[in-house]
Structure 1
Amino acid sequence: MTAAVFGHDGPWSEEEYLALGETRQRVELFDGSLHVTRAPTPRHQRISRRLGNLLEPGAEALGLELLEAVNVRLRPDRIPIPDLVITGPIDLDDPWIDAADVKLVCEIISPGNAATDKVLKMHYYAAAGIEWYLLVEQETLTVHLYQWQGAHYAERSVTKAGEALELTEPVRATVRPEELFS
């Protein structure tokens, strides 16, 4: 992949991005530019798995899919890889999930990547009309739930260690931050 990335001139198209194939790094496409981050830490992945385990029964009860680290096409040339998504029925063999099928998107903030998740991705997910955004902050043991309101997200709840987030939409689940981080 390194030769393909560094030998490339000009903006990246979706076709060129998808031709990179699977990589160890997270490679996302933002308006013709590649955003490359190293693989998540074991702590990050444990939080993702534990949160996914909490959300999956509610998703399955409604015939929805819970998926980890998949391409989500927000619009042409804009394909992030969220930590978790809940979608409606999809073709599991497609190279990406269309934003219109996503019910909830979740990002777990890594210490070196906070601005991307809190600003850039939040803006892009809102612009794509994804109704629910769940943002998990590792450093403060906090879970933020946002709901789409036109062009932006409105914060619906902030849940800290010792408290419980009772999700009722798009799925039913109880999330206790300390259980994600312990």
Structure 2
Amino acid sequence: MSLSVRSRGVPMSREQFLQLPEGPPFYDYVNGEAIEVNRPTLRHQEILLALASQLLLHTRAKQLGKVAIEVNLELPNGNIYTPDILFYSPQTEPRLDLQRGYVRGVPDLIVEILSPSTAEYDRTQKMSDYAACQVPWVWLVDQDTLVIEEYQWTPEGYLRRQAVNAQTPFTPHLFLELTLQMAQLVPAASESESQEDF
């Protein structure tokens, strides 16, 4: 039996959530509720592809691990999200649920690209869960300004290690041989684009 969800925050069991058909619409599973999430738009996807391609090239060349984009991640607390980018080192290799196409476990890095409609959700609900599950590194990327914030997990919560603007080279602590400069990877948002909810 397939189920349908028409609004945000619909209570259901995990088993019911797993029976939902593939979207659209798309959902996260958070604390016993299916939460409808917006699909990404062009600006978001430009940033996603630019970052993911650089991470993929670097991690493959150095044999550092696996990069994945927009796959369902089942955290140890049972909540299910679809982060923009995941990275797993060989030491934290994910468990794959091939039947559902899910990844289980705690990745080394999660990257979330913030849009106006999702920024609060990403900064509060998701970051809280990522901290509870001890995800070591999280990057938050503002899609309008291209500022990258790098957070490291500590027992007291996430510590912001750096916030780098689009014109400044960003060298992540997780990949010390990688340098990214967002202004070179992604064209600046035009005035009209920044008014839209990308």
* TM-score, reference length from structure 2: 0.80
Residue-by-residue CA offset, 1:16-57 (whole Å, 9 max, x unaligned)? 212113213331000111111221101101100100011112
Match of 1:28, as an amino acid? D
Structure number with higher strand proportion:
1
Q: Which residue of 2 aligns with 1:136?
A: 141
Q: Percent identity?
A: 27
Q: Which residue of 2 aligns with 1:106?
A: 111
Distance 1:173 1:70, change over 3 A: same
Instruction: Look up the SS of the partner of 2:29 in the other structure.
Output: strand
- The structural deviation recorded for 1:65 is 1.1
Report runs of 4+ in structure 1 exceeding 4 Å deviation: none
- The structural deviation recorded for 1:92 is 7.0
Structure number with higher helix proportion:
1
Q: Gaps spanning 5+ residues in structure 2: where?
A: 188-198
Residue-by-residue CA offset, 1:125-151 (whole Å, 9 max, x unaligned)? 011110000100112220000000014
How many residue pairs were aligned?
A: 178
- The structural deviation recorded for 1:62 is 2.9
The alignment status of 1:39 with 2:45, answered yes or no, reads no
Decide whether the 8 Å contact of 1:69 with 1:81 is kept in 2: yes
Distance 1:111 1:21, change over 3 A: same
| Cα distance in structure 2, aligned partners of 1:13 and 1:37 | 18
Residue-by-residue CA offset, 1:58-80 (whole Å, 9 max, x unaligned)? 32223411111111112344111
Pick from 166, 169, 183: which aligns with 1:161? Answer: 166
| Cα distance in structure 1, aligned partners of 2:36 and 2:177 | 33
The alignment status of 1:97 with 2:103, answered yes or no, reads yes
* TM-score, reference length from structure 1: 0.87
The alignment status of 1:21 with 2:27, answered yes or no, reads no
- The structural deviation recorded for 1:87 is 1.6
- The structural deviation recorded for 1:99 is 3.0
Match of 1:84, as an amino acid? I
Match of 2:127, as an amino acid? M
Instruction: Look up the SS of the partner of 2:23 in the other structure.
Output: coil
Q: Which residue of 2 aligns with 1:178?
A: 183
Q: Which residue of 1 aligns with 2:131?
A: 126
Pick from 149, 152, 165: which aligns with 2:154? Answer: 149
Q: Which residue of 1 aligns with 2:88?
A: 87
RMSD: 2.3
Decide whether the 8 Å contact of 1:127 with 1:151 is kept in 2: no
Instruction: Look up the SS of the partner of 1:175 in the other structure.
Output: coil
- The structural deviation recorded for 1:3 is 5.9
| Cα distance in structure 2, aligned partners of 1:174 and 1:16 | 43
